[in-house]
Structures are given as structure tokens and as C-alpha cells.
């Protein structure tokens, strides 16, 4: 992504956001892309390469804790309603009133809070792999949650959170950065069944410094860029997305969001990933049936990293849906 398109803005909270901005051509909407963990705006570079030449406006921030944006260590900074307000201020800084929102992973959660608080600023919402989630869904007792999931599904499901919640979990991951990357970006989606889903297996993988190699869907240049970005930014701040989720900080904010605002009334697209062994499509479909029953759902036969594993399919589905939006013209 061309560095000359990046800008910086400081929000009213005093936090700096580094974001890619390409203005829209006449008649084209602006797309807001929000990435997840352990990522940066670079995760969307294939979408930027596709949509920018077609005249779509683009705003692609480094989310809080990532890339060139601020990296606070206090959990309070990572309340999702506050990050949503930060992102609204990024739109203001870019001079864009209304956008199409596209989120992945934790970016999907940020987009969810923006849907609750700033729905009027969106033509529609697209959630990729990870679906819309209402507020107040904290996992304060992670052990109880894992046990419940084990009983219901036969797997711990989110066992990797145990490592990410450790005080010094970031140090182990940074010391064995290639092992960490090759676990999170696996060469086969099934790797997660053995090494991500069960509690503590991710720690075992990284302590053993397992490095089976980069996946075929990442070029060597892409892998090296992801690696360089992680080495430069570190993981400590980004891991606060997990740590804040086992506190009541986000639950407190849910009291200030009305029941009406929990329903997503704008057009919705959910791109499900059938081989994602953490964010399973069935769970996402059930959630949308409750909060956005009108959602268009497309399921792709890939793992979690849809933007890399199914680039052309994702781009086509996004473009067709965006072009169908009544306010995108």
C-alpha cells in the first residue's frame, strides 16, 4: 500500500490513528475496512488494489494497538464503544460523512459498536468471517466458558485465549515470532483444531518454536511484511482486545445502548468461512437471525483469513453487494 496515501489524526481521547485514505471518485461510495488481530491495515491490501482503481473511496486504519496507531497498555483504552467513537473521528478527519463498513476479526466487533452508535453514517455493513456481535457479551470467566464450550461442542474452541490472557504472553509470541505467525496464519485450516482450539496447545506450539512454513496463500513478500509489521509494533497492546473482554468494562457500556440500536437495520452482508474453526458460520448465522434477519449470507470454503485465502471471491461478493446498495450510487 502506497505510503503516500497514509495520514495521521489524533482523536479527542488523545490517541493517534494511522490510516490509509484514497478519496472516492464521483458517484462512488467510500469503504471503511477494519482489520483484526494480529494485523494492521496491510491485511486489506489486496482489497485496496482491487477497489481503488475502480474509484471507490477507501479508509483503512491501523486499529488501536496496531501498525502506526497508538499502542496504549491500559485496558480502559480498549472499550469498544470508545474505539468506535475514535473511528467516527477518523471519518471526520478524512472528511467523509457516510461509508460502507467492512470488518474482520476484532475489526468486526469494532464495526458492530459503530453499527450501534453511528448507524446513520453507514450505507451498509459487511462482516467477514466474524459476524455482528451485540454489546455485553464479555467472557469474564474464561475457564467456565471453555468448559461450557467443551461440553457443548467437544472442543475448548477458544483455548488459545489462555495464552493471550497471560501477563507475559506477548513476550513468548514475540520471541518466537515466526512460530506465532505460522500458527495464526496456518498452512492448513485444520491446524487450528489441534493447536488453537484446545487450551494451552498454542503455548505448547510456540514454546516448541514450531515453524512448518508460510501458507501457500501468502506470498513471501506478504509474509515478510506481516512479520516486519508485528516486530515493529509488538503484540502487548493489541492483546488488550482479549484482556478487556474478560472484564466488565464493555458490559458497562452496553447499558447506554438502546434495545432499538442493537438491531441492525441497514443492509448487511456476512461472508462466512466454512473452515474457520473458531468463528464458525453456524454461530454467526444464528446471531444474525436475531439481530439482522435480512442479512445476505455467503459462505466460502476457506479458513479465517478470507481476504488472503479467497481474494477474488471476496472482492467480487463485496463489489456486487456494494453496487446493490440503494445509497451507494
Question: Does residue 244 have a pLDDT over 80?
Answer: yes
Average pLDDT of 24-41? 96
What is the distance between the alpha carbons of residues 137 and 123, in angstroms, rounded to a whole number?
A: 26
Question: Does residue 329 have a pLDDT over 80?
Answer: no
Strands 99-104 and 122-128: parallel
Question: Does residue 248 have a pLDDT over 70?
Answer: yes
Could you tell me which residues come within 8 angstroms of residue 171 by beta carbon, excluding any fewer than 6 positions away?
none
**What is the rounded radius of gyration, in angstroms, for the C-alpha atoms of the chain?**
18
- What ranges do the domains of the chain cover? 3-136+249-324, 142-243
% of the chain at pLDDT higher than 90: 86
Q: Hey, how many other C-beta atoms are within 10 angstroms of the C-beta on 255?
A: 9
Instruction: Return the C-alpha cell found at 258.
Output: 438502546
Question: Does residue 252 have a pLDDT over 80?
Answer: no
Nearest to 200 by CA among 168, 243, 159: 159
Mean pLDDT lowest among 55-59, 91-95, 149-153, 291-295? 149-153
What is the distance between the alpha carbons of residues 242 and 30, in angstroms, rounded to a whole number?
A: 30
pLDDT in tens, 39-55: 999 999 999 999 999 99
User: Residue 126 forms beta bridges with which residues?
Assistant: 102, 269
Write down the pLDDT at residue 138.
65
pLDDT in tens, 146-193: 888 888 888 888 999 999 999 999 999 999 999 999 999 999 999 999
In CATH terms, the fold of domain 3-136+249-324 is Rossmann fold (3.40.50)
Instruction: Return the C-alpha cell found at 210.
Output: 514450531
pLDDT in tens, 112-131: 999 999 999 999 999 999 99
Instruction: Say if CB 89 and CB 8 are below 8 A apart.
Output: no
Average pLDDT of 125-139? 89
Nearest to 239 by CA among 44, 62, 66: 66
At 137, the pLDDT band (50, 70, 90 cuts) reads low
Question: Does residue 76 have a pLDDT over 60?
Answer: yes
What is the distance between the alpha carbons of residues 83 and 43, in angstroms, rounded to a whole number?
A: 19
Amino acid at each position: 500500500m502506497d505510503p503516500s496515501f497514509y495520514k495521521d489524526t489524533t482523536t479527542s481521547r488523545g490517541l493517534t490513528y494511522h490510516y490509509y485514505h484514497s478519496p472516492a471518485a464521483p458517484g462512488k461510495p467510500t469503504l471503511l475496512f477494519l482489520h483484526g488481530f494480529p494485523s494492521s491495515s496491510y491485511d486489506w491490501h489486496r482489497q485496496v488494489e482491487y477497489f481503488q482503481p475502480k474509484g471507490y473511496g477507501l479508509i483503512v486504519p491501523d486499529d488501536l494497538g496496531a501498525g502506526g496507531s497508538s499502542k496504549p497498555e491500559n485496558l480502559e483504552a480498549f472499550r469498544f464503544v470508545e474505539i468506535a467513537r475514535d473511528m467516527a473521528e477518523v471519518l471526520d478527519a478524512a472528511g467523509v460523512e457516510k461509508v460502507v463498513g467492512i470488518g474482520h476479526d476484532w475489526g468486526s466487533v469494532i464495526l458492530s459498536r459503530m453499527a450501534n452508535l453511528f448507524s446513520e453514517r453507514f450505507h451498509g455493513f459487511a462482516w467477514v468471517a466474524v459476524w455482528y456481535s451485540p454489546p455485553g457479551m464479555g467472557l469474564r470467566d474464561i475457564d467456565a466458558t471453555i468448559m461450557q464450550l467443551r461440553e457443548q461442542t467437544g472442543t475448548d474452541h477458544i483455548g488459545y485465549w489462555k495464552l493471550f490472557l497471560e501477563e507475559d504472553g506477548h513476550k513468548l509470541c514475540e520471541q518466537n515470532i515466526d512460530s506465532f505467525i505460522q500458527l495464526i496464519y496456518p498452512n492448513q485450516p485444520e491446524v487450528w483444531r489441534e493447536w488453537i482450539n484446545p487450551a494451552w496447545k498454542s503455548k505448547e506450539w510456540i514454546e516448541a518454536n514450531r515453524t512448518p512454513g508460510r501458507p501457500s496463500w501468502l506470498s513471501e513478500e506478504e509474509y515478510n511484511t506481516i512479520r516486519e509489521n508485528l516486530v515493529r509494533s509488538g503484540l502487548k497492546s493489541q492483546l488488550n482486545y482479549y484482556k478487556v473482554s474478560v472484564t466488565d468494562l464493555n458490559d458497562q457500556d452496553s447499558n447506554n445502548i438502546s434495545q432499538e440500536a442493537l438491531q441492525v437495520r441497514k443492509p448487511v452482508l456476512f461472508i462466512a468461512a466454512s473452515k474457520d474453526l473458531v468463528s464458525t458460520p453456524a454461530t454467526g448465522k444464528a446471531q444474525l437471525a436475531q439481530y439482522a434477519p435480512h442479512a445476505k449470507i455467503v459462505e466460502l470454503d476457506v479458513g479465517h483469513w478470507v481476504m488472503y485465502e479467497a481474494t477474488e471471491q471476496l472482492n467480487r461478493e463485496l463489489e456486487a453487494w456494494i453496487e446493490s446498495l440503494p445509497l451507494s450510487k
